[in-house]
Structure 1
Amino acid sequence: MNVLNFMQSFFSDGSHWHGRDGIPQRVWEHVQYTAEALAIASAIGLPVGLVTGHTRRGGNALAFLSAGARALPTFGLLVLMFFWLGIGIVPVMIPLVVLAVPPVLVTTYEAVRTVDPSPVDAARGMGMPEARILFQVEVPAALPLILSGLRSATVQIVSTATIAAYVSLGGVGRYILDGLYQHDYGKVVGGAALTAVLALLALLLFWAVGRVAVSPGVRRRRAA
């Protein structure tokens, strides 16, 4: 059987569409893992990236820490956290957050740091407080690049959250792991296909957010 036949056999099986092991339930679990990890990574990466980008300080330290975080093997960290903390969501969240923080943090820093200094200097000359300069001048101009960092982190989380199945949790990775153990390659291909679809939906979501949140003027300037 080829890949398309495996996919057809998986998605046409009615037993895969209901119950605890059904596609809706597994997709919902995967979305929950992704949303939780992205929320935690954003709570860490966005404030630090905004402040350091605004002050233009700490760039070398951020690059060093981000490179170190990227070098950590996600699966190895999952196994370590599992033996240290036991079964639960925390051993899964830690490697996913470690994976997602660097793109959010570094991209946010670079986005704010590289904002055109002219409007920033004008706002500062008018006596605008630093917090207002950051959120009313720099962030709107930097928003497209900030969103690109969040988008990159989300896609990485979606693709990697399949590891939750290795510590007895759910998500679409359950199909991949169970399919390998059962030699049911329809499940393996189906789980991989669902992961790819979720990643594509994440890209589409951030495209829509960008169309709504980014001002037309900033979009036109970036396009030019």
Structure 2
Amino acid sequence: MVYKWVNNSLNRLLPPRCLCCQQAGQQLCPDCEVELPKLGTRCQRCALPLPQSDRLCRHCLRRPPRFTRCLSAFSYRPPVDQLLLSYKHAGHMANGRVLAQLWMSCCGDDVRREPPDALIPIPLHWRRRWQRRFNQSRLLAEQWGDAFGLVVTDALQRRVHTAAQQGLTAAERRRNLRRAFVLSPRANVTGKHLALVDDVLTTGATANAAAVILLDAGARRVDIWCLARTPDPGQ
């Protein structure tokens, strides 16, 4: 109650501004929301943006990922890329909250048709968690868990402090993630439909490495939930 009163008072004194154009009034104005690069035709498995409605992209045909499908709302292009970078690296929490709400509008029907048993945020190594002071994937999982009435569980741990994935090729990303994840000691995933939560899916190396751990531990199915999906290089 006190929090809501303080929040309402701050909004009256400092009205929110659009995250993109800075116009006063709301956190994302209608004009800027329309301009966000929402995903159109995509791969039915990894959500890679496609020029036409092919069922699977060439990557999934050549090397099928272990996860079943990816639910994503946006293409990782301006201004979504800058909003997510500011969220993850500068702590602009409003960016993540607003994009997560829009994700629910885009993907909510799919979630309700096939709800998972639990959400699992992609974990950060403790060093990166200490540097960043928060895990962006955990915050997304909590927001979506509250909205859909789903359990959020830390069933995975990151035991290796890997180098940053940015700038690495797909093969380098896979090598970088070898033995990075481990199942939490008391986690029970046997027979469960799980959804891994992350902010962006790039090559899918991180998501696939985490899915392998869960499936090998007995999970029935693993999906990926993320805000944005990167296009193929050159698109």
What is the TM-score normalised by the length of structure 2? Answer: 0.27
Structure with higher helix content: 1
**Relative CO higher for 1 or 2, CA cutoff 8 Å, sep ≥ 6?**
1
Q: Which has the larger radius of gyration?
A: 1
Structure with higher strand content: 2
What is the TM-score normalised by the length of structure 1? Answer: 0.28
